[in-house]
Amino acid sequence: MVERPVERLSPFRDPHTDISPADTMARPPARSPRVSLLFASLAVAAVAFAFTLKDENEYFYKVNRGLEVFGQVYREVSQNYVDTVDPDAFISAGIDAMLKTLDPYTTFQRNDANDVDLLTTGSYGGVGITVGMRDSAVTVTDVLDGYSAQQEGIRIGDRLNTINGRNVEHGPIDALREYTRGEAGSTLTIGVMRDGRSQPILFKLTRETIRIRSVTLSRMLEGGIGYVRLERFSAAAGDEVRSAIRSLRAGGDLHGIVLDLRDNPGGLLDEAVSVASLFLPSGSAVVSTRGRDSSDNRVYHTHDAPIALGLPLVVLVNGNSASASEIVAGAVQDLDAGVIMGTQSYGKGLVQTVRRLPYDASLKITTARYFTPAGRSIQKVDYARQRSNNARTSPPSPTFKTLAGRAVYEHGGILPDSIVSDEIDPVIVAQLRDGGIFFKFATQYSAPLSNIPENFAVDNSLLERFRGFALEDAHLRALDSAGFGYATELAAAAHRDGYAAELTSRIDEMVSAVRDEEGRQFDQHREEIRRELLEEIAARFRSQRQRLSQSLSDDRLVLAAAALLRDGRPAYGRLLGMR
C-alpha cells in the first residue's frame, strides 16, 4: 500500500549514430560480421524507439485531449444545465463511471482517512460495536470484547435510536461514523430500542482506541495440534500469529498447526510476507508483483527468523479467502511447507496502491499483479479480456512445479492439495438464516434475560416455540419454500377466479401437503436448527472468543485438518509428494 515515487528517464538519441544503407556501402573495408550485427541492432533499436516515441506522443495527446473535453463538459453542465447540479455529486459520478471500465478494486474515495488508518494501524477511536440494517433499522450485529459498549451492556440485536440526541434509527450506516468515531476519552450517548421495552435505553459510552485484532482465536486442539484463526492482515498480523504460536508452544507439546484463513479477505502485503516468514526458510521468495511500470516489479522475501519451520502445517482456505490469504497459501504450497485444505480460494491477485488526492480524497488504483513463487498468477478474472470479449476468466495455464517437483496449476486462486468442502447447510437452515429468523428470535428471547446459564441448551420446548415464531405472520414465513409460495398463489387464484369446487379442493389439498413437507423438513433437521439457534442466543451473552471456540467442536474442516496432522507423516507426506 506504500506509494513509491517513479522517475521516468527518456533515452537520449544521438543522430550521429544513425547509419543509412548508402553510408554503410561507401565505407571500405567491410566490417566484421560482429560489428555489422552491432550496427544492425542499433538501427533496429533506433527504428523501434522512433515508433515508441510516436506511440507515446499519441497516447499523451489523447490523455490531454480527454482531460480538456471532460473538463469542458463538467463546466458547461454545472453552469448551464436547466436545473441546479450538485458539483461534487456530478464529478463523483463521472469519476465512478470512468473507473467502472477498469476493475472493481480501482475506486475513488472521499474522506477515507479513517478507513486507511484502520487498515494500516489496526486501530481507531470508537465504542466497540458493529451495526447493520435489519428490517430497515440500524441494528447492532456484533459487540467487541472488552470495550465500552460491552461493558455498559449494549447487546447484539439492539436497534440504534439516537446518538447524542440525533435520530439515526434508519441510517444511513455510513453517516454514523461521524458520531461514533472520535478521540479516545471523549464520550457520547447512544439510545437503543430493545424488544420488550417501550422506551429507549440510554447508554453513556466512552470512546477508546479500538484495536482490531487479526488473530481472533488460538487454542490447543486434541493431540497437540495448535489452531490459529487469522481473520485479516491488518497491522501487526505477523506479530500476532508469532505470539499465538509461542503461546501454544508454551502450553505443551506442539505437533502441528492449523492456520485458518477461511473468509479472510486480505489486507496488507507486508503482513502477508510477515506471516509466511514464520513457516518458510529465511530468504525464501513469498510473492512477486509485476506491473505496467517496472518500478512495480518486485520480489518479496521472508525477512524474519521462522519459528515454525518444519512443523507440520495445514492452511485452511475457502472461496472467500482472498489477496493476502492467497499469497500466504500460494507460498506455502509452492515451497511444500504445508498442506492447503478446503475449497478453491477467491482469486484476487491484483495489487492496489492508495494515491492521495487533493481535498481529503484518494484513488485506490490497481498497479500490479501478484504471482506465487512458482510463477502462478493468483488473479482469477482477467478484466482486460472481459472488456474486450466478455471472457470471464484467464485462459488455461501451463503446469507449474513446486520446490519438490509437484505439479500445480494456475486456476485463478489457490486450488487446495486436499479438497474438503465446508458443510453445506440444509435448505431450511439457510432459509431461516437468510430470512433473519434466528437473529430475530434470539433478540426477542434474550431481551428480558440478564444472562443464561453456562450449560444453557435449546430444549424441545424452546425449539417448538421457535417453529411457531417462524410461522406466525406473513413477513416471518421463512419456512415457505418456493414450492409453497407457488402453491399458495395458485390456491388464491383458484378461489378468486371461481375455479370448479373439485379443482379448488384439490389445490387446497396440495397446499396442505406442501405445508406438511415443510414441517417434515423442520423435524428432519432439528439438530442443525437447534445448533444454529443456540449459537445465536449465546451470542447475546458470550464473548467473541467464547463463541468462536465453541464453534470448533462442530467445524468439519478443522476436524479434518487436525485428524490429518494427528495421523503423522504418512498421510500428510503423501499430499506433499513425499516418499
Per-residue pLDDT tens, the chain, 579 aa: give them.
433 333 222 332 333 222 222 333 333 344 444 444 333 444 444 545 555 556 778 888 888 988 999 989 999 999 999 999 999 889 989 999 999 999 999 998 875 555 555 555 667 788 988 888 888 899 999 898 889 999 999 999 999 999 999 999 887 887 787 778 888 899 999 999 998 888 999 999 999 988 888 999 999 999 999 999 999 998 899 999 999 999 999 988 999 999 999 999 998 999 999 999 999 999 999 999 999 888 889 999 998 889 999 899 999 999 999 999 999 999 999 999 999 999 999 999 998 888 888 888 889 999 999 999 999 999 988 777 666 665 455 555 678 999 999 999 887 899 999 999 876 778 888 888 888 889 999 999 999 998 999 889 999 999 999 988 887 644 445 455 445 555 666 767 777 777 777 777 777 777 677 666 667 778 888 999 999 999 999 999 888 788 888 888 888 999 999 999 998 778 898 899 875
DSSP-based three-state secondary structure for 440? helix
Query: Of the residues 218, 277, 323, 377, which is catalytic?
Result: 323
- Identify which of 576, 579, 578, 563 has the alpha carbon closest to the alpha carbon of residue 255: 563
Residue at which a domain ends, from 211, 240, 267? 211
Helix (H, G, I), strand (E, B) or coil at 432: helix
The full length of the chain comes to 579
The verdict on residue 43 lying in a domain is no
152 and 182 in a single domain? The answer is yes
Q: Which of 158, 260, 263, 334 is catalytic?
A: 334
Q: Say if residue 374 is in the same domain as residue 418.
A: yes
Pull the grid cell for residue 12: 537520449
Q: Count how many domains the chain has.
A: 3
Q: Is 397 a catalytic residue?
A: no
Sheet strands (E) in 343-480: 350-357, 361-371, 399-401, 407-409, 418-419
CA atoms within 13 A on the CB side of 473: 1
Note whether residue 348 is domain-resident.
Answer: yes
Distance CA 471, CA 478 (A): 7
Coil vs helix vs strand at 110: strand
Residues 236 and 338 in one domain: yes
At 325, list the grid cell. Answer: 490469504
Q: Where are the alpha helices (DSSP H) in 397-436?
A: 427-434
131 and 231 assigned to the same domain: no
CATH of the domain at 185: 2.30.42.10
pTM of the model: 0.76
Question: For residue 216, what are the β-bridge partners?
Answer: none
Same domain, 182 and 236: no
Of 153, 177, 211, which one is at a domain's C-terminal end? Answer: 211
**Is residue 199 in a domain?**
yes
Q: How far apart are alpha carbons 327 and 370 in whole angstroms?
A: 8
Q: Do 245 and 293 belong to one domain?
A: yes
**Distance between CA atoms of residues 273 and 389, nearest Å:** 35
Host H or E run for residue 162: strand 159-163
How large is the angle between the packed helices 501-524 and 482-496, nearest 10 degrees?
A: 160
Residues 274 and 194 grouped into a single domain: no
If asked whether residues 222 and 129 sit together in one domain, one would say: no
DSSP 430: H
pLDDT in tens, 427-444: 888 888 888 889 999 999
409 and 531 in a single domain? The answer is: no
Asked, for residue 116, whether it belongs to a domain, the answer is no
Distance CA(430)–CA(409), nearest Å, equals: 33
Q: Are residues 311 and 378 in the same domain?
A: yes
Q: Shortest CA distance to 259 belongs to which of 219, 309, 315?
A: 315
CATH number at residue 381: 3.90.226.10
Q: Residue 90 burial by CB count (10 A; 0-12/13-18/19+): exposed, middle or buried?
A: middle
Same domain assignment for residues 400 and 441: no
Is residue 245 assigned to a domain? yes
Alpha-carbon distance values, 252 to 219, 224, 308, 464, 535 (Å): 11, 7, 15, 44, 30
The whole-number pLDDT of residue 495 equals 74
How confident is the model over 114-154, as pLDDT tens digits?
Answer: 555 555 566 778 898 888 888 889 999 989 888 999 999 99
Residue 536's CB is within 10 A of a number of other CB atoms, namely: 23
442 and 343 both lie in a single domain = no
Strands 361-371 and 107-110: antiparallel
pLDDT of residue 10: 30
Cell of 396: 488455461
| 231 within some domain | yes
- The dihedral built from the CA positions of residue 532, 534, 538 and 540, taken in this order, carries a sign that is positive
Catalytic residue, candidates 234, 348, 480, 555: 348
**End residue of a domain, out of 182, 211, 240:** 211
**Active-site residue flag, 334:** yes
Question: Structural domain of residue 449, as residue ranges?
Answer: 427-479+525-557
Q: What is the dihedral of CA 493, 499, 505, 511, to 10 degrees?
A: -20
Task: Please indicate, yes or no, if residue 264 is contained in any of the structural domains.
Answer: yes
Identify whether 74 is part of a domain.
no
For this structure, is 18 an active site residue? no
